[in-house]
Amino acid sequence: MSRQVVCPRCRKEGAVQARPQTPREVVAALIRIAPFQCQSCDHRFLARRVSPTGSSSLVERREHLRIPVRLCLSFSGGKVRGEGTVLDLSLGGCIIKSETQVRVDDIFYLEIVVPEDEAPIEVAAMVRSVSARGIAFKFLRKASENKRLLTFVQSQSGSTSGILSKAVEPTVAS
């Protein structure tokens, strides 16, 4: 199992490697130092790479850990309304299964039903891709601005830490 990276700001584990965004981060990548982003406080920092693989590693392209879930949701946007099942959820987006026809770049209002007896988590999202795996949505606001989403994903990531690496698939970078 790979080591957990601790955020230097909030001291929580679970920071993930991120895509280099600045010239400093690109240069650091040449000496096996990678940018990381904390899933709790959104802080970006540099640290030694977790994975010994090359720069095409999925971990380096993905900004957020995916959490495998099975949650019901409904969505609407313009004249399109639909229902489906959330298969993967992250702080940056989700993948759903639905029979509703959507197009890339369509914007929807999602209502994700959480297992607790609470109101659904509401988020605005854009369709990133449509494939056999499902519809991939990118959330339009950072999860740190949606406390309920942030709390839910953090609670689920703690209980699924043993299977997080199996949840990462190359279909969509969230």
Residues 6+ apart with CB under 8 A from 44: 18, 21, 35, 36, 37, 38
DSSP line for 129-156: EE-SS-EEEEESS-GGG-HHHHHHHHHH
Model confidence at 62, pLDDT cuts 50, 70, 90, reads low
33-37, 140-144, 164-168: the lowest-pLDDT one = 164-168
Please name the residue that has the structure tokens 């010239």. 23
Region(s) of the chain under CATH 2.40.10.220: 67-167
Contact status, residue 133 vs residue 95, Cβ threshold 8 Å: yes
Query: pTM of the full predicted structure?
Result: 0.59
User: Are the beta carbons of 76 and 109 closer than 8 angstroms?
Assistant: yes
Fold annotation for 67-167: Thrombin, subunit H (2.40.10)
